[in-house]
Amino acid sequence: MPRTPNAKPIDSPRCDPRLPEAALRYRLSAAPPLTTPKALGAINVTAWLYRDRRGVEAIQVNPNITIAELARRFGPAATPDAEVGLHSEGLAAEWFRVRPDLKVLQIFSERVPCFAMCAPMLRRYFPGVPWYYYYDSTSWRGNDGEQLKRAGEILRTAYGL
């Protein structure tokens, strides 16, 4: 059973436990399973709870697409600044954009949504929807700015792997 994730804003209702369970189920069911330290560090899985017009709740799960995977599929980026992956939150947001009849209730992402792209996008297009996460790299920095713990380590513990 996965641990209860952190919330933004901090006074949000408790995260629906089906969200981290869905993210873990996605990792376990992938071929090969995405539970190695390398996969836990490279892949971010997001799970969004939503309700349809009939009041039926469901969960949409999306992983990110890594820079390495994009390079494998399409070749190297034309310039170094174009070497970015596709964030799981952005992929999920696009899934909901083309399904405007669905209402997003909660957003779980293994890592806190990035400050530069995902967080502003979520605030703009999903105002009032709480976010839940396990890993925020800014919480794991030492006095000299060094990274004390990485996402893979935190996710192993959060998921009990």
Laid out side by side, the sheet with 6-8 consists of 6-8, 131-133, 103-109, 45-51, 57-63
Domains and CATH numbers, the chain: 6-159 (3.40.140)
149 vs 105, more confident:
105
> What pLDDT, on a 0 to 100 scale, did the predictor assign at position 87?
86
Query: Given this model, what pLDDT does residue 72 score?
Result: 75
pLDDT of amino acid 97 = 95
For position 152, what pLDDT does the model report? 87
pLDDT at 73: 77
Q: How many helices (H) and strands (E) does the chain have?
A: 6, 5
pLDDT of residue 143: 73
Give the tens place of pLDDT for each residue, 73-110.
767 777 776 666 678 999 999 999 999 999 999 999 99
From first CA to last CA, the distance across the chain in angstroms is 10
DSSP letter at 83 equals -
Structure confidence at residue 142 (pLDDT): 63
State the pLDDT at residue 141.
Answer: 62
pTM: 0.88
Average pLDDT, the chain: 88
- The candidate with the shortest Cα–Cα distance to 88, out of 58, 116, 110, 56, is 110
What does the alpha-carbon distance between residue 118 and residue 30 come to, in Å, rounded to a whole number? 25
